[in-house]
Amino acid sequence: MKKDIHPDYHAITVIMTDGHTYQTRSTYGKAGDTLRLEIDPTSHPAWTGGQQRMLDTGGQLARFNKRFANLGLKA
């Protein structure tokens, strides 16, 4: 294996949005650094299955629903 081409792989502390912390190994920062997450799997709708809200700007959603009401789609 070639020397001095790989990044340093060391232990860091990760802090989730709810304050929960854990140790992991990463190439982020220096040994002992802390990575504070703003978005994580415990709070983000993409991972928790949260529902998105559709904004009805200018009645576009209402016109769409009216036009395609007979297709049996629920908005």
pLDDT digits (tens, 9 = 90+) for 43-61: 777 777 766 566 666 677 7
Beta strands in 1-75 (DSSP E): 10-15, 21-26, 34-36
Number of domains making up the chain: 1
Answer whether residue 32 is part of any domain.
yes
Answer whether residue 27 is part of any domain.
yes
Domain hosting 22: range is: 1-42
Answer whether residue 68 is part of any domain.
no
Answer whether residue 6 is part of any domain.
yes
pLDDT digits (tens, 9 = 90+) for 8-19: 999 999 999 889
Answer whether residue 8 is part of any domain.
yes
Q: pLDDT-derived band of residue 35, with 50, 70 and 90 as boundaries?
A: very high
Q: CA–CA separation, 75 vs 70, rounded Å?
A: 13
pLDDT score for 73: 55
Answer whether residue 14 is part of any domain.
yes
Answer whether residue 54 is part of any domain.
no
Answer whether residue 73 is part of any domain.
no
Is 22's pLDDT higher than 70?
Answer: yes
